[in-house]
Structure 1
Amino acid sequence: MENGRKEDTLEEIMIEHGSDLVRLAYNYVKDKETAKDMVQNTFIKCYENLDEFRYDSSIKTWLYRITINQCKDYLRSWHYRKVQTKEVLDNAIKPLLLTPEDKAIRKSEQEKIKDFIFSLPKNYREVIFLYYYKSLSIGEIAEVAELNTNTVKTRLRRAKQKLKILMEEANVYG
């Protein structure tokens, strides 16, 4: 692929998938600027490897896989261990058009639900995020996370069971 066309293709990919990838990365690294760095690295790898992409999978799942691997590498890195961040996920759940009182109650419940999700082990949190927040299918999650589909189904079922118990104990129903 010639450089001009390759750059145009990358620009289209960045516009279409950039925001989703930043949110995905944020789910892992819990820091907005670090998430943006992870996605920038993803786009660099995308540009470097665009000629070799065979379309065996969709661009979306390929980018998700690269981003997740970038984040996992970062989380294993020395830098992350020295400078861990503790920010809470912003804008994960968009407020519905409700009365101000309903919005306040809903926001409080959603914050509790996010806290419950973040209290889950990373492997459960990952499938919950990809399934419910990114609307990926079981097969797409398996491809992105490089897991067997049955493993994804099991993790999703266990994550939902754990969330249900946590929510029942706290009397929260989202």
Structure 2
Amino acid sequence: MELEQLIETYSDYLYQIAFIYVKDERVAEEVVQDVFFTYYKKREQFQGKSSLKTYLVKMTINRSYDYLRSWKARTFPLFQLFESKVERADQPLLKKEARGEVVSAVLTLPVKYREVLLFYYYEHMTTKEIAHFLATPESTIKSRLQRARQELKPKLAKIDWEVLFDE
């Protein structure tokens, strides 16, 4: 598959995954760019043991974790105060989505809870598949899923779910 075709096929999806982890649009874009750049440089290392999509998702998650552990991630909010606000064409749509109460509530959770929610509800993966993908015991995945739901419950108690699903 050509690089342009890969980018066209997977960039939006990988961006959403990166955003769930890093909670910043620009950083999520950087993560996705790094993933494609790294894949292009090292594409011969892909052995085909899983689908290319799974491989790119795992790279995105790992790169997101790298960012979260970096010095830049811990000091980035300070730098944001000094940056000018330039809006892209898709900015209003992203802001509307990011302002949603459900998304906001999920983004307040620790990464280990966000990722299991992402895989379970967004990817429709089973706990067994998530455990295999994250190389974590299935019982740990079940516990994280339960704790994530418990933390979300009070944060989402005020949402009018009928209005949310009518749109």
1:83 aligned counterpart, secondary structure: helix
Is the aligned partner of 1:149 residue 2:123? no
Match of 1:71 in 2: 64
The CA distance in 2 between the partners of 1:74 and 1:57, in whole Å, is 25
Is the aligned partner of 1:83 residue 2:76? yes
Percent identity between the two aligned chains? 35
The CA distance in 2 between the partners of 1:19 and 1:92, in whole Å, is 17
The CA distance in 2 between the partners of 1:148 and 1:57, in whole Å, is 20
Retained in 1: the 8 A contact 2:21–2:114? no
Partner amino acid, structure 2, of 1:125: R
Retained in 2: the 8 A contact 1:167–1:173? no
Retained in 2: the 8 A contact 1:68–1:145? no
The CA distance in 1 between the partners of 2:132 and 2:55, in whole Å, is 9
What count of residue pairs does the alignment treat as equivalent? 148
5+ long unaligned stretches in structure 1: 1-7, 94-109
5+ long unaligned stretches in structure 2: 82-92, 162-167
Deviation at residue 12 of structure 1 after TM alignment: 2.4
Where in structure 2 are the equivalents of 1:25-174 lying within 5 Å?
25-84=18-77, 90=94, 111-168=100-157, 171-174=158-161
- In 2 relative to 1, CA 76–35 (structure 1 residues): closer, same or farther, beyond 3 Å? same
TM-score by length of 2: 0.73
Deviation at residue 20 of structure 1 after TM alignment: 0.4
Partner amino acid, structure 1, of 2:94: D
Deviation at residue 92 of structure 1 after TM alignment: 8.5
- In 2 relative to 1, CA 92–147 (structure 1 residues): closer, same or farther, beyond 3 Å? farther
The one-character-per-residue Cα deviations of 1:126-159 (angstroms, maximum 9, x if unpaired) are 2112322344443443344342333222211221
Retained in 2: the 8 A contact 1:38–1:70? yes
TM-score by length of 1: 0.70
